[in-house]
Structure 1
Amino acid sequence: MTQQASPSTRSVGLGRIIVAVYAVFALSSTARAGYQIATKFGEAPVAYLLSALAAVVYIVATVAMARRGVASWYVTLSAVLVELVGVLAVGAASALAPSAFPHDTVWSGFGRGYGYVPLVLPLIGLFWLWANRPRRGAGAR
Structure 2
Amino acid sequence: MRRPTADAGDRRHGPGRVILALYLVFVIGTVSRSAAQISTRWDQAPLAYGLSAFAAAVYVVALVSLSLRGRAAWWVSLVALGVELTGVVLVGAWSYLAPERFPDATVWSHFGRGYLYIPLVLPVVGLWWLLSERGARARGDQGRSG
- Give runs of aligned pairs for residues 31-46 of structure 1, distance below 5 A: 31-46=32-47
Unmatched tracts of structure 1, length 5 or more: none
Matched, 1:89 2:90: yes
Alignment size in residue pairs: 134
* Runs of at least 4 residues off by over 3 Å: 3-6, 134-138
Could you state the TM-score of these two structures normalised by the residue count of structure 2?
Answer: 0.86
- The separation in 2 between residues aligned to 1:83 and 1:122, in whole angstroms, is 6
Identity of aligned residues (%): 51
Unmatched tracts of structure 2, length 5 or more: 1-5
Label 1:137 to 1:57 Cα distance change in 2 as closer, same or farther (>3 A). Answer: closer
- The separation in 2 between residues aligned to 1:137 and 1:92, in whole angstroms, is 36
- The separation in 2 between residues aligned to 1:92 and 1:67, in whole angstroms, is 32
- The separation in 1 between residues aligned to 2:72 and 2:60, in whole angstroms, is 16
Q: In the alignment, what sits opposite 1:57?
A: 58
Matched, 1:70 2:71: yes
Q: Deviations over 1:94-139 (max 9, x none)?
A: 011111211111100000010000000010001000111236367x
Q: In the alignment, what sits opposite 1:126?
A: 127
Q: Which moved more, 1:126-135 or 1:10-19?
A: 126-135
Label 1:116 to 1:41 Cα distance change in 2 as closer, same or farther (>3 A). Answer: same
RMSD between superposed Cα atoms in Å? 1.7
Q: Deviations over 1:37-80 (max 9, x none)?
A: 01111100110010000000000000001111111000011100
